[in-house]
Amino acid sequence: MWRCLTLYLVVSASAASDYYQRRAVLIEKSQNRSIGADLVLNADERKVNRLLMQLKHREFDAGFKDPEKFLPLRHFFLARDNITRSGVFKLIRQMPKGASLHSHDLGLVSDAYVFHNLTFRKNLWAKPDPEGRYTFRFSRTVPDDDGWEEVDALRRSDPSFDARLRAQLTLVVPDPFTAYSDIDVIWRVFEGVFRSVGSLLAFRPAFEDYFYRALEELHEDNVKYLEFRGLLPEVYDLDGRVYTPEEVLGLYDATATRFKRAHPDFVGVRFIYAPSRRVNASVVADYVALYERLHAGKYSKFLAGFDLVGQEDLGRTLLDFVPQLLTLGNRTKFFFHAGETDWSYEPSDLNLYDAVLLNATRIGHGYAILKHPELLRIVKERAIAIEVAPISNQVLKLVDDVRNHPANFLVANGYPVVIACDDPGLWGARGLSFDFYVAFMGLSGREGDLRLLKRLAINSIEYSSLDERRKRYAMKRWRQEWDQFVAGVIRSSETE
């Protein structure tokens, strides 16, 4: 009997040991598929990784015990201030993040700058629409049409004016769940904010100062290259001159050049022409004709490619404009917004198929792509990068808890992903660090480590529109900054 019991225990222990080993191997195989698993950290990077993971595990443990303390679970408006105090966030802020590849001209800059530096300028007039939202105009005298009031006078006569004005320049509210009941509601407000900000930026000095500040905020966040989408609006000055789209592109280029002279470590800027998708085919034909003029013009090197933007569920589909888009052929790169929807096999969801068939270089958001396994195969095979903007997706009501974001699958399976900030100024963010934090904590699980962050930064350069020579230059600069970052973290840890 004792011999049988002993044999049973030996066999059971052996079986359990084998089980645990097979379990560990299976987990390791899964982890080796994720973004960053291909990287090998050197000795100094491993020291930084240990510090980073101590901070991450501390936040994970606190959140697992009390989910309200896990910041990516909470709405960004309610979590933002606590994120700024996170040790993980502070380390990510120091990290060179490479490039910002998906953001929009009217959402690049913090709302505080827009309010304090643009709305207090001389010669500014405002006119409310029926809902009380202001449109702005700079003019030495009252504009010709009715309804305009000088902003200085409104401030003197109405003590509540500034609070209402400030609220119109951002989506941030104390209770986002009550204020924005569904995606259509928040998109209406979103587009209203764009109209207000856009009217402020149509004045040339404001336009140039705003864009310069956008580059400053990225630089302060350790981002050294920008590709952004924009409309090329009608910019004017106080003498009545209205600038053509070519001239507006030139203003961007000149401002970027001026910034680079003051900040030699900044790699540069490129522009993606991205007008509205809520138009008819003849208007898109006009967009294409303008793009071809720009592409053949003086600032062609500043021009990265073409996109169509706006709420996909309510806008026209890419399929509606295939004849016009095909005329561009291989003469440009496409960076289409596609799959920014919760619906499945609705026309907005099927934009993903047309983005792939039209040979998009990158896909903006691509939120719905998990529902389309053949497209998943193609984007991985062709290295079509998915621009993932986790905070934007949460704020615009595609997902509440980013732990359930589709990009969890993309990260875990090593898909070509770049992290994007979309319109950080409209939701109280700045630069890329907030989205990197939410991605690192909410999209990668407990064991996603420094390799993930490093690979995401590298991806931002590899999947940019830069030519190979400029990519090599950008990567060389980034690697130098990365080594300095690693050394700096180690020095700080040794003096604490």
Q: State the Cα–Cα distance between residues 369 and 453, nearest whole angstrom.
A: 23
Whether the Cβ atoms of residue 349 and residue 341 lie closer than 8 Å to each other: yes
| Model pTM score | 0.95
- CATH class (in words) of the domain with range 92-110+203-481: alpha beta
CA atoms of 121 and 200, how far apart (whole Å): 10
Write the DSSP symbol of residue 8.
H
- Tell me the C-alpha distance between 474 and 302, whole Å: 16
* Orientation angle between helical segments 468-495 and 43-65, nearest 10 degrees: 70
365 catalytic per annotation: yes
pLDDT at 7: 52
Query: How far apart (Å, rounded) are the C-alpha atoms in residues 312 and 351?
Result: 9
State how beta strands 124-128 and 134-138 pair: antiparallel
- Listing DSSP states for 317-361 in one string gives PGGGGHHHHHTTTTSS-B--EE--SS-SSSTTTTHHHHHHHTT-S
Cα–Cα distance measured from residue 457 to residue 474, given in angstroms and rounded to the nearest whole number? 11
As a whole number of angstroms, the distance between CA 302 and CA 318 comes to 25
Three state DSSP letters for 441-477: HHHCCCCCCHHHHHHHHHHHHHCCCCCHHHHHHHHHH
Look at residue 214 and give its three-state secondary structure. Answer: helix
pLDDT at 146: 84
Predicted pLDDT of residue 201: 97
Instruction: Give 85-116 as a DSSP string.
Output: T-HHHHHHHHS--EEE--BBGGGSS-HHHIII
Residue pair 337/348 in contact by the 8 Å Cβ criterion: no
CA distance 127 to 168: 13
Order of all β-strands in the sheet with 149-150: 134-138, 124-128, 149-150
Distance between CA atoms of residues 454 and 490, nearest Å: 17
According to CATH, where is 3.20.20.140 located in the chain?
92-110+203-481
Q: Sort strands 149-150 and 124-128 into parallel, antiparallel or unpaired.
A: antiparallel
> From the candidates 365, 372, 387, 481, which is the catalytic residue?
365
The CA dihedral of 423, 87, 220, 401, to the nearest 10 degrees, is -10
- Return the H-helix or E-strand segment holding 215: helix 204-220
Residues across the chain: 496
Q: Which residues of the chain have pLDDT under 50?
A: 9
CA gap 457, 491 in Å, rounded: 22
pLDDT digits (tens, 9 = 90+) for 211-262: 999 999 999 999 999 999 999 999 999 999 999 999 999 999 999 999 999 9
Whether the CB-CB separation of 178 and 78 falls below 8 Å is answered with: no
CB 103 within 8 A of CB 114: no
HSE on the CB side for 349, CA within 13 Å? 12
Q: Which of 205, 33, 223, 142 is nearest to 214 (CA)?
A: 223
State how far the alpha carbon of 196 is from the alpha carbons of 105, 132, 135, 164, 481, in Å: 13, 11, 5, 12, 38
From the candidates 45, 59, 312, 340, give the one annotated as an active-site residue.
Answer: 340
Structure token digits, residue 6: 């002993």
CB 407 within 8 A of CB 439: yes
